[in-house]
Structure formats: C-alpha cells, structure tokens
Chains A and B, each alone.
Chain A
C-alpha cells in the first residue's frame, strides 16, 4: 500500500492480461496490420510493468522511466518500417493476409 492506495500487483495483473491478449492476437490473426496491432499491445504492457516497478520498488531512480521512453521510440521506428514493408507487400501481392505471402517458402 503506497501513495496511490493501489498495490503493485494490480498493475502487474493488468499488464499480464494485456500481454497475453496480445499473444493471442498474434497467434490467431491473419492480416499483417492486425498482427502489428497485437505487437503494439505487447510492447505497451511491458511499458506498464517497467513504470510500475520503477515507481513502487525504486522510486529514487529513473531507469524504468527511461527504458519505457526508449521502448516507445523503438516501437515508433518499428511501426514506420513495418508499414512501409506492408505497403510494399500490398503492391506486389495485392493482399496482406499472411497465408498469401509465401513466395519465399519454396
């Protein structure tokens, strides 16, 4: 019990649920853009974890804060490149379903 009146475990439970919902989407989705959305969910849940640990266990330091700042920057770069690749795939295959994009398999 701390300044907010919320135990640390509540944040961890929320981020765990979010992480594995992202994993579920990553497994079941077929469209590349929705897979990208699931990855964003996973990255976000990790950020919540970093910040909650930073605030509750090491409030005198800022390591978790800056880690999630860098995670956000990497996620932005990743989304930009991924969407460029998706648009290129669409031009070539006229589809962004993962089942149709298997030319390199054989």
Chain B
C-alpha cells in the first residue's frame, strides 16, 4: 500500500514537472533558458520510463536526448544567437490562434481518451532485460525487429553524411 502511494506521489511529481517545464520551454523569452527547461522535461520523461519499468529505454533517453540532442541544441544556440538576446513578445493574434489550436486539440483528445474504456491486460509482463532486447533486435522471426534495426542504421549513416555535407564551408 505504501509502495503504491509512493508511486503515485512520484508520478504526480514527474508529470507536474513535465507539464510545467514544457510550458516554460515554449514561452521562455531567453533561448538558452528554453533549452535548459527542455533538458528538465526530457529528464522527467526518463523518470516516467523508470516508473513503467523500462530501465533500458530510460537510460537511452538520458544519454541520447538529455546528453546528445540537448548538447547539440545548446551548441547551435551558442553559434547562432546572442546570449543576452530576448525574444519579442508573441503578437496577440498569433498567441490567440496558438491557444485556440492547442486548447481545442487538448479538449478533443481528452474527451476521447477519458470516455474510452481501456481494458488493462492481465497477462504476465515479460522482463525487459538486455538479453531480451538484444535478441529481439536481431531476430527475424515473429516479434523480431531486424529489418527496422538495419533500416535505422542506414538512416543514421545517411544523417551523418548529410550533416557533414550540409554544414561544411563551400569553396567560393
């Protein structure tokens, strides 16, 4: 019983952090602060993954998102913006349109998913350890993911080459 209460407290903490820092990410007028708030959002998301017992994915989230993508974003901010620069306030019309779009989307989705009756499965959860993950990634039978694994490796190679080609200084 106490474990359940602790779980609920942790969940509410993580989701409140996610929502609060997401709002700060899209409304902060200093770009480096927005990047820092994004980092907090990604870390709290990793906390939610831990709560769902997906430890491997939580570790991937921390190393790849919080460690990789946020560092990339901060580097590009430092290369392209002045640190002291503050964004102008969002024009009223744009703000209203954005709030209407987001608000109607939230209302529609929440009414749909709160009225739908999800039936949780009561089958035994399989353990998600490194053994299972590695064998499923390289398995070409049922529940195997070797094809997307290979496709994603080609995609990553293409992305590396593309990033180098686009960003290199052209001779004039």
- A residues near B, CB below 8 A? 2-6, 8-14, 16-25, 27-31, 33-34, 36-38, 40-41, 44, 47-48, 51-52, 55-63, 65-66, 68-70, 72-81, 83-88, 90-91, 96
Contacts and interface: CB of A to CB of B under 8 A. Distances in A.
B83 interface: no
Contact of B7 (A4, A58, A78, A87): A4
Contact of A59 (B42, B61, B88, B125): B125
Contacts of B72: 79-80, 83
B143 A62 contact: yes
B64 A76 contact: yes
A49 to B, nearest CB: 10
Given A23-B105, A76-B69, A62 B136 contact: yes
B48 A21 contact: no
Interface centre among B26, B88, B145, B159 (most CB of A within 10 A): B26
B118 A55 contact: no
A48 B18 CA distance: 11
Interface of B: 3-5, 7-8, 11, 15, 18-19, 22-23, 25-27, 31, 34-35, 38, 41-42, 45, 48-49, 51-54, 57, 60-61, 64-65, 68-69, 72-73, 75-77, 79-81, 87-88, 90, 94-95, 97-99, 101-103, 105-106, 109-110, 113-114, 118-121, 123-126, 128, 132-133, 136-137, 143, 145, 148, 152, 155-156, 158-160, 162-164, 166-167, 169
B26 A72 contact: no
A58 B45 CA distance: 21
Contacts, number: 231
A69 to B, nearest CB: 6
A37 B45 contact: no
A96 B35 CA distance: 16
B54 A65 contact: yes
A90 B80 contact: yes
Contact of A56 (B51, B121, B128): B121
Nearest to B119: A57
A25 to B, nearest CB: 3
Given A5-B7, A84-B162, A60 B118 contact: no
A5 B8 contact: yes
Contacts of A68: 57
Given A22-B26, A37-B34, A65-B128, A87 B167 contact: yes
B126 to A, nearest CB: 6
Contacts of A61: 126, 143
